[in-house]
Amino acid sequence: MTSGVQYAIVGTGTVGTVLAQRFSDHHVPALFANTRGPETIDVTELSASITPVTLDSALDADVIILAIPFLQVRELGRRRADWSGKIVVDATNAFLVPNSEQILGGRLSTEYNAEAFPGAAVVKSFNQTAAKQLAEKRPPEFGKRVVFVSSNDSAASALVAGLATDLGFSPIELGRIDQGGVLIQARNALVLRNLYELPSELDRSTEVTSTVERKLTPGTWTIDPVHSSVTFSVRHLAVGRVRGRFDDFSGAITVPENGTPSVTVTVAVGSVNTGNPDRDQHLRAPDIFGADEFPTATLVSTGMHPVDKDNWVLEADFTLRGTTKRVPVAFSFLGVSPGMGRGEVAGFEGVIKLKRSDFGVLTDTPVLAGGGPMLGDTVDITVCVEAVKQPSAPTG
């Protein structure tokens, strides 16, 4: 699952309702909004993962799915001057809009809509099939509905494709909007095709005789940094988010014969990578990470308790810039695979919420002209881990 990302569906018409039902069925949290207010949104048939909110609250989300009439898109875009850090998913269509050719002026509809969201990464998806086809529930053995994803931002495209997978679809990424995205314009090659990805023979056998175990055997499990990630995001200028990752980290999970497993993780803070070298250098400075004086951040578990059979909360001491705080880490255990010849592999996903002020990071943050800090105090950290079982030490 694409953990740590806040989704919002804007529009409670047919398409918005269908998407909300998908989020609900697959227990993917999402905000749900329209222009009339949360009190007008009926969620009695939806799970607790769907939260009715005001339109402005929905626009604070990381990923905003537009399920509104095409002619209302620009009005929505004018609600904010800068959409930097947002991913806007265009699920609208201009095909039946009167005078659409004159309105578009030769542009693709998603290119036209993108102009209303300066700074955002715009993705075209969830709009190439009729709503009733998108709503169809199909037994797994009969395959997953194909949805297409297109964006000029490859990272945004990959994130939305991951969301589509979480919602039970089979995504196909088509590349840039002006290239592959053309194929899902109305009346073009892939539009209105009733496509499914059918399960392969391997998939069928895997469903029946799964090789994924649900138990960690005693021993030491070492984090595989090649197949793991530590990413973070923080609010910027009240309307956007800065995202980044750490490229250098290590850790281990120790599972005793009896008792509670323990976890240790070390992150080299100087390996911070936000895709902007100047910003990365600033993050290493004394008033932020202080990488020269405090080169590592560490997490050492102190306890663990279950939420359900696959979800846990890890209590841990987190140390940054020489300051240690006790923090909860909500994580999911994804199971154990036989691996690919290097030993068993266990999978985990976790989320940590920290307050930078607790660790003396940017204590003199500038205040925006309209009030509020330039940088949010809460930092969301998402950890995706593959851990490899180490061979047991010889005895005797």
Span 232-263, pLDDT tens digits: 888 877 667 888 899 999 999 999 988 888 99
pLDDT for 23-53, tens place per residue? 998 889 999 999 999 999 999 889 889 999 9
Query: Quick one: average pLDDT of 380-392?
Result: 89
User: pTM for the complete prediction?
Assistant: 0.52
Look at 65 and 333; give whichever has higher pLDDT. Answer: 65
Mean pLDDT, to the nearest integer, of 44-72? 94
Cβ contact 73:113 at 8 Å: yes
**183-240 pLDDT per residue, tens:** 776 656 566 566 877 765 544 443 433 445 667 889 999 999 988 999 988 887 766 7
Whole-angstrom Cα distance, residue 393 to residue 286?
Answer: 42
Residue 282, pLDDT > 70, answer: yes
* pLDDT higher than 90, residue 341: no
What pLDDT does 189 receive?
A: 58
Q: Which domains does the chain have, with CATH numbers?
A: 7-208 (3.40.50.720), 219-389 (2.40.128.110)
Give the whole-angstrom CA distance, residue 52 versus residue 10.
10
Q: Please tell me which residue, 250 or 342, carries the higher pLDDT value.
A: 250
Which pLDDT value is given to residue 252?
Answer: 95
The pLDDT score that the predictor gives to residue 139 is 67
Residue-level pLDDT at 161: 92
Q: Residue 96: exposed, middle, or buried by beta-carbon count in 10 A (0-12, 13-18, 19+)? A: exposed
Report which secondary-structure segment, H or E, holds 341.
none
Query: In the numeric block, which tokens belong to residue 11?
Result: 């529009």
**Is residue 95 pLDDT above 80, yes or no?**
no
* 159-186 residue pLDDT tens: 999 999 999 999 999 889 888 777 776 6
Q: Report the chain's mean pLDDT, rounded to a whole number.
A: 85
- Considering Cα of 231, then 85, then 129, then 167, what sign does the dihedral take? positive
Note the pLDDT tens digit of each residue in 283-326: 999 888 999 999 999 999 999 888 776 788 889 999 999 999 99
pLDDT of residue 233: 87
CA distance 247 to 299: 16
- Cα torsion 77, 83, 89, 94 to 10°: value is 30
pLDDT digits (tens, 9 = 90+) for 344-365: 889 898 888 888 888 888 766 6
pLDDT band for 378, please (50, 70, 90 cuts): confident
What's the pLDDT score for residue 203?
45
What pLDDT score was predicted for residue 160?
A: 94
